[in-house]
């Protein structure tokens, strides 16, 4: 059975250190996340035949994690009941969040030095994602790929472009990244792959969050 993802988009605040912000640049309105938003999660998972839940955000989902422990405790209880794995997307490498309870953790990082900080906590699959900015070169991409290849704590490497104003995608080193796709790394083309869950509502397009929703 092919994996069908539901992406929970959170807004617990932001550390404002990413190289760009899709949410800010495109005026996407993501409401503050509440624990009550999980009330409809089981129904939405069943209705949409979901078998993987991921958590991402308009702001890092692990920002001020200690203030949101009860939210994640309830989320894990729901997913355990349904026997569905969690995939966490975060830029926090060192965190009190129980990474070992995830099926996969995706670290969105910004430098080679951060690769050295990543570790595996249990049996989770570890992926790192680099946003390709104007300063990237083929040599830099190769160096990142080589570092990941020799890091036993990392299983997967992805690159993705920035999404700027009006949901327009950049194209830095695009041909080179495509040439290495599924060989030395994954190149993520910008697309709405998943369903998005925001405060109990389902969206089919990230750019439409806060504009319209399907009940």
> Which domains are assigned to the chain?
5-208 (3.20.20.70)
Whether the pLDDT of residue 211 is over 90: the answer is: no
pLDDT of residue 26: 63
**b vs e for 171-196, b when ≥16 Cβ sit within 10 Å of the residue's Cβ?**
ebbeebbeebeeebbbbbeeeeebbb
Average pLDDT taken over every residue of the chain: 91
The residues that bridge with 86 in the sheet, in sequence order, are: 53
Whether the pLDDT of residue 77 is over 50: the answer is: yes
Q: How many residues does the chain have?
A: 215
CA 147 to CA 151: how far, in whole Å? 6
State mean pLDDT over 188-207: 86
Whether the pLDDT of residue 179 is over 80: the answer is: yes
Both structure tokens of 36: 């009550």
Beta strand residue intervals within the chain, DSSP E: 5-10, 52-57, 86-90, 104-109, 125-132, 156-161, 186-188, 195-198, 201-203
Whether the pLDDT of residue 131 is over 50: the answer is: yes
CA 197 to CA 37: how far, in whole Å? 9
8 A C-beta contact, residue 90 and residue 109: no
- By the 10 Å C-beta count (0-12 exposed, 13-18 middle, 19+ buried), 106 is classed as buried
pLDDT of residue 192: 61
Of all residues in the chain, what percent carry a pLDDT higher than 90? 76
């Amino acid at each position: 059975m092919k994996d069908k993802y539901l992406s929970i988009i959170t807004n617990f605040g932001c550390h404002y250190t990413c190289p760009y912000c899709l949410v800010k640049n495109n005026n996407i309105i993501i409401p503050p996340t509440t624990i009550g938003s999980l009330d409809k999660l089981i129904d939405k998972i069943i209705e949409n035949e979901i078998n993987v839940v991921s958590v991402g955000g308009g702001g890092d989902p692990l920002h001020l994690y200690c203030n949101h422990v009860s939210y994640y405790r309830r989320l894990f209880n729901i997913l355990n009941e349904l026997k569905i794995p969690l995939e966490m997307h975060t830029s926090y490498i060192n965190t009190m969040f129980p990474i070992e309870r995830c099926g996969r953790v995706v670290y969105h990082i910004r430098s080679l030095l951060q690769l050295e900080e990543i570790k595996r906590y249990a049996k989770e699959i570890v992926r790192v994602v680099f946003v390709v900015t104007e300063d990237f070169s083929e040599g830099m991409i190769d160096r990142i790929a080589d570092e990941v290849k020799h890091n036993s704590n990392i299983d997967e490497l992805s690159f993705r472009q920035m999404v700027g104003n009006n949901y327009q995608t950049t194209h830095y080193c695009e041909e080179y990244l495509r040439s290495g796709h599924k060989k030395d790394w994954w190149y993520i083309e910008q697309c709405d792959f998943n369903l998005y869950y925001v405060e109990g509502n389902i969206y089919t397009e990230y750019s439409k969050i806060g504009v319209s929703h399907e009940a």
